């Protein structure tokens, strides 16, 4: 399915046609042509699965819920995560696919994040570890350096009302990155390419469900910004979660302390 999306968006990324504004999707963001062709590819693939006898619920950023004969499992999809990057031709966007056998993040049993602008397919099965492009993931070590978080990714940056916590994070970061594709950034944390991620404004279920499973299977520490477990949170259309994640418990605690 992710490969079908990659083929569908080819020729639309970074073009005037791809930027054409069409409507507002179920997730609340404005749908562009690049989003529409990606979701059309998802729906077409789902229709073929249903024709083969599979029954499930599709929950997508653009169309919301569409039943294919059942309410479970839930196929949670963001056809193009990092839509602004894709529209502008910036090479950091992906497709996020998560299969849930319930309604919470902890019910995610399969997660796939496909880089649409480069090499890399991150996949995880609950209890089965993480693969990167079909090979067992070999993560980099993560630790504080001189008391700083070496590479900190911030996603869904908060409004000025939360400026204080953002400034605190900036002071603790050796290097700060604002990438713009949440699912792909979560996978960068899982591999150790990024030392930590803080989502101070909140991630939607479409963006983070697959990445959360990748992180969990990679042994990373993941909580909400208060340090709470996110696995019991509902992965619905209106879900928003402010995440802190790192492969290092010490790095995670450092970021969490700054936020609180």
Q: Is 129 left (phi over 0), alpha (psi -120 to 50) or beta?
A: left
What is the C-alpha separation between 256 and 12, in angstroms, rounded? 39
> Which ranges of the chain have pLDDT less than 50?
none
Continuous H helices in the chain: 2-9, 16-19, 33-51, 83-88, 163-172, 182-191, 205-217, 249-259
Q: What is the structure's pLDDT at 231?
A: 96
Copy the structure tokens of residue 25.
Answer: 């999707």
Q: Residues spanned by CATH 3.30.540.10 within the chain? A: 2-136
Q: What is the structure's pLDDT at 168?
A: 78
Q: CA angle, 190 as apex, 185 and 196 as ends, to 5°? A: 65
Q: What is the structure's pLDDT at 55?
A: 98
2-136 belongs to which CATH class? alpha beta
Q: Residues spanned by CATH 3.40.190.80 within the chain? A: 149-259
Q: Give pLDDT tens digits for 97-144.
A: 999 999 999 999 999 999 999 889 999 999 999 999 999 999 999 999
pTM: 0.93
Q: What is the structure's pLDDT at 189?
A: 98
Question: Which fold does the domain 149-259 belong to in CATH?
Answer: D-Maltodextrin-Binding Protein; domain 2 (3.40.190)
Q: What is the structure's pLDDT at 121?
A: 98
**Greatest extent of the chain over all pairs of C-alpha atoms, in Å:** 57
């Amino acid at each position: 399915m992710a490969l079908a999306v990659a083929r569908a968006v080819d020729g639309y990324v970074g073009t005037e046609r791809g930027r054409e504004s069409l409507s507002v999707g179920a997730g609340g963001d404005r749908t562009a042509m690049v989003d529409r062709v990606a979701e059309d590819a998802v729906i077409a693939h789902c229709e073929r699965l249903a024709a083969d006898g599979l029954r499930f619920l599709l929950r997508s950023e653009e169309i919301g819920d569409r039943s294919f004969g059942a309410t479970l499992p839930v196929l949670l999809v963001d056809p193009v995560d990092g839509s602004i990057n894709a529209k502008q031709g910036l090479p950091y966007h992906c497709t996020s696919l998560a299969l849930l056998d319930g309604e919470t993040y902890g019910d995610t049993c399969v997660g796939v994040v496909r880089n649409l602008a480069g090499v890399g397919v991150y996949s995880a099965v609950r209890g089965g570890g993480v693969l990167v492009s079909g090979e067992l993931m070999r993560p980099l070590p993560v630790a504080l350096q001189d008391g700083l978080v070496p590479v900190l990714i911030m996603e869904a940056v908060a409004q000025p009302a939360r400026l204080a916590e953002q400034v605190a994070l900036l002071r603790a970061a050796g290097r700060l990155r604002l990438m713009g594709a949440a699912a792909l950034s979560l996978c960068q944390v899982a591999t150790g390419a990024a030392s930590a991620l803080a989502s101070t404004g909140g991630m939607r279920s479409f963006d983070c469900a697959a990445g959360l499973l990748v992180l969990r299977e990679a042994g990373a520490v993941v909580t909400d910004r208060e340090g709470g477990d996110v696995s019991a949170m509902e992965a619905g259309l209106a879900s928003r979660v402010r995440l802190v994640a790192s492969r290092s418990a010490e790095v995670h605690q450092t970021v969490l302390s700054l936020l609180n």
